């Protein structure tokens, strides 16, 4: 992407300036449906007082298709809006999100899954 194409995504640093940013990204992996990514967008506007205001925008969707997984994503510095000159294979991004879920679910479920002194003893299986 060119600098001009990236302009709407660059940080709003001056009063009256605005940018488009993602508020929430969600991987929808509902059984029986094709996976997709839901992007909840918002416009970040710097007020005359230097305080940011946020205006919701319509969401957009990215279908996780074989074509999408075979593509590469141009990486952008989210703090500056500048292209980093590197690419990330989309399949690595999706695999990374799935792997992060497994890691986080495992770590955060440990207290629930570990034996508890408060739990009554169970009878041995016969």
Tokens 């990204």, located at residue: 25
Among the listed residues 11, 69, 17, 88, the one whose alpha carbon sits nearest the alpha carbon of residue 46:
17
CA distance 47 to 49: 5
Residue spans per domain, the chain = 3-112
Q: How far is CA 96 from the centre of its chain?
A: 11
In this prediction, residue 123 carries a pLDDT of 66
**For range 31-45, the mean pLDDT:** 94
Of residues 117 and 41, which shows the higher confidence score?
41
Mean pLDDT estimate for the chain: 88
CA distance 105 to 72: 28
Predicted confidence (pLDDT) per residue in 75-105, tens digit: 998 888 888 999 999 999 999 999 999 999 9
CA distance 116 to 114: 6
């Amino acid at each position: 992407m060119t600098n001009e194409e990236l302009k709407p995504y660059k940080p709003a640093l001056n009063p009256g300036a605005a940018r488009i940013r993602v508020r929430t990204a969600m991987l929808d992996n509902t059984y029986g449906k094709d996976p997709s990514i839901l992007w909840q967008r918002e416009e970040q506007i710097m007020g005359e007082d230097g305080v940011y205001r946020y205006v919701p925008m319509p969401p957009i969707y990215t279908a996780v298709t074989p074509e999408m997984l075979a593509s590469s994503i141009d990486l952008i510095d989210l703090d500056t809006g500048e292209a980093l000159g590197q690419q990330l294979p989309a399949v690595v991004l999706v695999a990374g999100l799935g792997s992060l879920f497994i890691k986080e679910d495992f770590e955060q479920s440990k207290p629930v899954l570990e034996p508890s002194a408060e739990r009554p003893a169970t009878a041995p299986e016969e």
